[in-house]
Amino acid sequence: MSWHLGPNVRRHGHLLFDVEAGGYFALNPTAALVVDALIEGRSLAEAADKLSNAYVVTSTQAHADVKALVSQLSRADLLMERIT
């Protein structure tokens, strides 16, 4: 499974802009780390591992945080699973 930004989404630093809806989503540094990992082709588990290695967070919490972030960004059509 791989991920990409939605078709109407543009990224500028830690901001995701929905050019169609006119809204934006600000990523904090941990969210940016996860989004970067995912759009580079890493899995959810790999993104969570990267998060737990970069910050003082347990693996269990990192996995839960990645799932929550992906769910939130997916619901807003900012992040989409690439269908292969």
What is the tens place of the pLDDT at every residue in 14-61?
999 999 988 899 999 999 999 999 999 999 999 999 999 999 999 999
pLDDT of residue 82: 83
pLDDT of residue 2: 85
Q: Give the pLDDT band (50/70/90) at residue 5.
A: very high
Going across the sheet that includes 15-18, the strands are 9-12, 15-18, 23-26
Question: What domains are there in the chain, each with its CATH number?
Answer: 2-82 (1.10.10)
- 3-state SS, the chain, equals CEEEECCCEEEECCEEEECCCCEEEECCHHHHHHHHHHHCCCCHHHHHHHHHHHCCCCHHHHHHHHHHHHHHHHHCCCEEEECC
For the chain, report the end-to-end CA distance as a whole number of angstroms: 8
Q: Give the pLDDT band (50/70/90) at residue 65.
A: very high
